[in-house]
Amino acid sequence: MNVTVIESKLVDFLRTITGQVALQADSDLQDAGITDSLTMMDLLVFIETEYQVRLGFADLTPDVFQTPTTVAELIAAQLALTQQSQAA
């Protein structure tokens, strides 16, 4: 799946649950106040439900959850790994 499509879905989801309509793919999630525990749990559930991707504890770092783009890149990488393992 394309990173841009994932970014768009993540931004739409985060706008919906936070009410921050100005949020963009390159918005810093910490600066936007989105990295609180409840919003992060909602985001993780969305990721697992929407993409069937389960993120490990090592994935839950400030670098990965810096912007919707960095989260989308992780999801795309996880989806690619899953497709590769299924093809093998």
Tokens of 57: 């504890």
Burial class (CB within 10 angstroms; exposed 0-12, middle 13-18, buried 19+) of 68: buried
> pLDDT tens digit string along 34-57?
889 999 999 999 999 999 998 888
pTM to 2 decimals? 0.91
Tokens of 52: 């069937």
Q: Specify the DSSP element, H or E, that contains 42.
A: helix 37-51
Please give the CATH architecture assigned to the domain spanning 3-82: Orthogonal Bundle (1.10)
Could you say which DSSP state residue 78 is in?
H
Residue 87 has pLDDT above 80, yes or no: no
Q: Domain boundaries in the chain?
A: 3-82
Do residues 25 and 66 make contact, with C-beta atoms less than 8 angstroms apart? no
Q: What is the pLDDT at residue 49? A: 97
